[in-house]
Amino acid sequence: MTRQEALKLAEEAGVDLVEISPAADPPVAKIIDWGKYQYQKMKEQQKNRKASKQSELKQMRFGLKIGSGDLEIKLRKIRSFLAEGHKVRIQVFYRGREMAHKELGYDMINRIIALLEEDAVMEQQPQMAGRNLSVVVRSK
């Protein structure tokens, strides 16, 4: 069909002639209602945006003197964050004179990583930032 015939058909129908693939031989065009097409395209993009949830960076703080029960509860929460597809920053904070024994924090981080070994992978080595020792983990 020639371009003139296609334009005439589109005008008679009261809709638009839209070129789909100009590089093809012959070029491909479609007769559609452009306003309706744009509206549907916008709605589809909104739906896709809503469906693709962005992963967040969650944070879980641990003290050096945490009990085993509390530790298990926090680890369960970390596992749920990882299952949802989020990254988790594990942070060990020091109080008062605990800063003199920084190795205890590294031991705690290593213990937590060992307990999460089947569910998580450490993204970077533990870092000190002020009175906090932190590491970021993501799901396997």
Q: Residue length, the chain?
A: 140
Which CATH fold would you assign to the domain 3-51? Ubiquitin-like (UB roll) (3.10.20)
Domain ranges in the chain? 3-51, 57-139
The CA distances from residue 135 to 16, 105, 123, in Å, are 56, 11, 8
Query: Against a cut of 0.75, is the pTM above it?
Result: no
pLDDT of residue 78: 94
Report d(CA 132, CA 140) in Å as an integer.
25
Domains 3-51 and 57-139 share a fold: no
CA angle 122, 128, 113 (to 5 degrees): 25
Over 70: is that where the pLDDT of 82 sits? Answer: yes
Euclidean distance between CA atoms 59 and 90, whole angstroms: 6
The DSSP bridge pattern shows strands 16-21 and 28-32 to be: antiparallel
Q: Is the pLDDT of residue 88 over 80?
A: yes
Q: What is the pLDDT of residue 119?
A: 87
Identity at 46, one-letter amino acid code = Q
At 126, phi and psi to the nearest 5?
A: -60, 140
Fold of domain 57-139: Translation Initiation Factor IF3 (3.30.110)
Per-residue pLDDT tens for 11-66? 888 888 888 888 888 888 888 888 898 999 999 998 888 777 677 899 999 999 99
93 Cβ contact partners less than 8 Å away, ≥ 6 residues apart: 61, 62, 63, 131, 132, 133
